[in-house]
Every structure is written in structure tokens, then in C-alpha cells.
Amino acid sequence: MSTQPKLIAAGRVVTCDPGRATPQEPLGAIEQGAVLIEGSCLAQVGLAADLLRQHPEAARIEHPDGTLTPGLVDAHTHAAWVGSRAREYAMRMAGAGYEQIAQAGGGIVASMRAVRAASLDEMVRTLVARLRRMAALGVTAVEVKSGYGLDEATERRQLEAVARAGEDASLPRLVPTFLGLHALPPEAAGDRHGYARRCAEWIEGIARDGLARFADAYVDRGAFSAAQARIVLARARELGLGVRLHAGQFADVGAFELAAELGAASVDHCEHLSEAAALQLGEAGVRAALLPVASFTLGQAPPPVETLRRAGVRLVVASDANPGTAPTESLPLALALGVRSYGLSVAEALLGATREAAASLGLPTGVLRPGAPADLVLWDLPEESAIVQPWGVPRVRLVMREGRAIAQAS
């Protein structure tokens, strides 16, 4: 294997490094900047002129009209699904609500049926193809939830598919999350409490076998209560897993309080969030993951972004990729909607899909600084504000994970 260092120079290098941030450059951008990659890590970040002079031995990639950023980190996805719910989307656009769709056999349980019927190989194949498309959009790390199995064997099979895909270094790095409390399977016959207790048992083996790094629960009106989620998430904590929550998508039913109590890594959705809950999150250092594609699909009003800002809550932006409420694989689309519909600044959106997303997942990526893994994107775009426009097509020149290309423009 070649040990030749690589030097990438770009018109703008957007480091997202807090150590470089100034009021003028909140993203720590360097005009005519460059990075030097040695092995899988960044060795130097600085002015292109300096690095080019200091490292004549390095292999060079120069894009004076391009922008270099950390690789995008998608911190909330349900990417391990199979099957399609496109008809459900059409029903929703024609005015059908959540309940009506569920009665017509749609919703999470429809995906559960498809996933239960799929073999491990089929799941891996579908996931790998999806991850390649995500990489082509600039994504170098993806959190993937289970939650379409809803029985022990199938929840495990989904997580095994994530583990198998995670072995492939030519794909984004993966962070697996157990989401048993996503919906109630039909065989539970309405017993949410009993189902939560079973999930808390399954999680023992899942944690023992290293199949998940986080546990998540969908706490909402029409979903699970905070008390039911506590049964699973408190056990997850004892087993050394981190905690994330689907919280306040339709109503605040106590998920934010639970998140603060358990020291959750993030609360996701947050359309229905009070000032008091925001303050609690801010104090507990819980990040809010905003999912603008889901609220766009559901025709919802944005979350109270200004309240979150005032409470000092750090913001993450994610795709929520799923076959129902966020039928997309595109984190850049989520960023575009985050800016347009939620009023996020370009800096908030980009940090939410790089540094803040990585921090919420416990990853060392999301920042261009010496010592960090060389997970990065060279965009065919002149500046970072161009990244958050709704292109609808990939605008990357090169995507690298640990110093190796995982996608490039043809």
C-alpha cells in the first residue's frame, strides 16, 4: 500500500474546527487552504501555499474553485429498510392522515412485514446500495436504526445487516442503534408495557454481541410513553449504550425530561417543544436533532429553533431516511430544507451535519484538524453557502473516508 502523503488544496477549506472559528468565519474556513493526509488521518491543515511548499513529495489534488469540508455525518436514519411505501406517500399527499394510512395497512408495520420477510443477504444488499448513494452525496458516516423487525430475531437481523455493511471500508462508517420501541407489533395485542419489557430483555444480547452503540425509542402521542421508554433506555444505559430519543414529533409527552434524566446524546424531531423543556436540554447538554424532511413530508410547522438557540442547545440536522415520513437518502436535501424552512443559518446547518452530528454519535470525525480521520468532501461548489441549496443532484468531486476515496464525480 502506498504511504505517499496526499495534499488536497481548495478555494475554501471549511474546517468546522472550533479552534479556528472567528465571528467572521464561524466555520473556521481558510481561503486557498489545504489539508495534508498521512495514512488514514489528517496531518496538517493550513494555507495551500504553505503546504504545497512544505510537501513537494505529496500526491496533489487541486481544486481552486472547489470547497473542502468534513465528510457529512447523518446522525438519524432508518436506512436498513427494504420494500417501498410509495403508495402510502401518494395517499398522504391526497390528504390521508397517519391513522388512515395505518388502517390501510401502511405505516411502520408495513415496513415491518417487508423486513421480516427479507433474508440477511437481501437486507445487506439493499443497505449497501443505499449507503453508496449516500456516499455519492458527501456522506461519510451514517447512524442506522433497527425498528422494522419488532421481534427479537428480526431486530437482530437488521442490526447484523448493519454490522455486515459496516465491515466494508469503501462505504460510510456506520453507527448502529437499537430501536425496538418504534411501533407495537400486531402480536403484542396492544400491550405496550409488556412489549417494552421484552425489548429490555432483547437489548441484553444485543449489547453483549456489540450489535448496537445506542438505543432509541419513539416517545409520542400514539407511540410509546416516557415510562415505557425508561424500561428499555435505562437498561441500555446500564449496559453501556448511549441513548437517543424520537421526541416531540406530534406532542411533548415527557420525552425531553427523560432525555435530560438519562443524559441522552440527542432528542430528535422536536416540533413540539416548550421553553422549559429546551432549558432542561440545554442544562443537560442534550443535542437536538432536527429532521426537516420529515416535517416537510408531514406538512408540519418547524420546531422552535429560536427557543433551542436561546437555551444553548446544540443543533444536529439529519435526513431521517425512512420509507414513510422521510423518503429520501439525501442529507444535503435535509440541509437545504433546514435553511429554507427552519431558518437555520448556513453555519448551523453545516455544523449540524458535521461536527455536532459526529459529537452526538461519539465519532472523532466532523472536523478538519490534525489528528482527525481524513473523512472529507471536496465539493464542486465555490463556497459553503452553495452546499445548502436544493440541487437535487450530487455536487461532489471527491468523498474520502480515512484518506481513501469512497465516491467521486465520474
Binding of Fe ion by 356 (CB under 5 A): no
Taking CB under 5 A as the binding criterion, the range among 16-24, 60-68, 92-100, 317-325 that sits at the site for Fe ion is 317-325
CB atoms within 10 A of CB 18: 13
What is each CA distance from 282 to 271, 285, 303, in whole angstroms? 16, 5, 16
- CB nearer to Fe ion: give 11 or 292: 292
Binding of Fe ion by 320 (CB under 5 A): yes
- CB nearer to ligand NIG: give 181 or 200: 181
> Is the distance from CB of 149 to CB of 155 less than 8 angstroms?
yes
Q: How far apart are CA 165 and CA 169, in angstroms?
A: 9
Taking CB under 5 A as the binding criterion, the range among 256-264, 281-289, 302-310, 315-323 that sits at the site for Fe ion is 315-323
Kindly state the smallest distance separating residue 125's Cβ from ligand NIG, in Å: 20
Coil, strand or helix: which one is 69?
strand
Binding of ligand NIG by 252 (CB under 6 A): no
Closest CA to 325 of 171, 227, 218, 166: 218
Residue 406 interacting partner from Fe ion, ligand NIG, none (CB closer than 5 to 8 Å by kind): none
Binding of ligand NIG by 363 (CB under 6 A): no
Radius of gyration of the chain (CA): 21
Closest CA to 402 of 78, 177, 168: 168
- For ligand NIG, the binding residues in 103-122 under the rule CB under 6 A are 108, 111
Taking CB under 5 A as the binding criterion, the range among 166-174, 314-322, 341-349, 374-382 that sits at the site for Fe ion is 314-322
- CB nearer to ligand NIG: give 266 or 322: 322
**Which residue's C-beta sits nearest to ligand NIG?**
324
Cell of 138: 458527501
Residue 45 interacting partner from ligand NIG, Fe ion, none (CB closer than 5 to 8 Å by kind): none
Kindly state the smallest distance separating residue 250's Cβ from ligand NIG, in Å: 9
Contacts within 8 Å (CB) and 24+ apart, 162-165: 162/80, 162/127, 162/211, 163/210, 163/211, 164/120, 164/124, 165/124, 165/127, 165/128, 165/131
Place of cell 432509541: 216
Contacts to ligand NIG by CB under 6 A: 78, 108, 111, 218, 246, 249, 294, 320, 322-326
